[in-house]
């Protein structure tokens, strides 16, 4: 999970402990990363109804969404899927 450095993530250590998710914080002076983060959140939410709690989504559905997002042919990486760009 990645977050920008806003106040709501001040206690990210508690979230990590309770969910066992790795949390990555955006470097404070890399302003362009926030846009990428917000865009990715929007793409993920496009697969879920507004108001859907992530606690109510099964792992199979999350993995399906992840696979779709990782295979978007972005022009910035030569229209290659993210998982095959290296």
Please spell the DSSP secondary structure of 50-74, one letter per residue: TT--GGGS-HHHHHHHHHHHHT---
Residue 52: is its pLDDT beyond 60? Answer: yes
Q: Give me the phi and psi of 64, to 5 degrees please.
A: -65, -45
Residue 60: which pLDDT band, with cuts at 50, 70 and 90? very high
Decide: 24 and 47 in contact? Cβ < 8 Å.
Answer: no
Alpha-carbon gap, residue 59 to 46, rounded angstroms: 17
**Alpha-helical regions (H) of the chain:** 12-19, 31-45, 59-70
What average pLDDT does the segment 64-71 reach? 86
Does this model's pTM top 0.85? My answer is no
What average pLDDT does the segment 38-63 reach? 86
């Amino acid at each position: 999970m990645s977050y920008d450095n806003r106040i709501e993530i001040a206690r990210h250590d508690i979230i990590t402990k309770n969910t066992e998710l790795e949390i990555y914080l955006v470097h404070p002076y890399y302003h362009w990363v926030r846009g990428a983060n917000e865009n990715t959140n929007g793409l993920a939410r496009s697969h879920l109804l507004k108001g859907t709690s992530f606690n109510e989504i099964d792992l199979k559905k999350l993995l399906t969404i992840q696979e779709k997002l990782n295979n978007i042919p972005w022009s910035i990486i030569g229209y290659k899927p993210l998982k095959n760009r290296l």
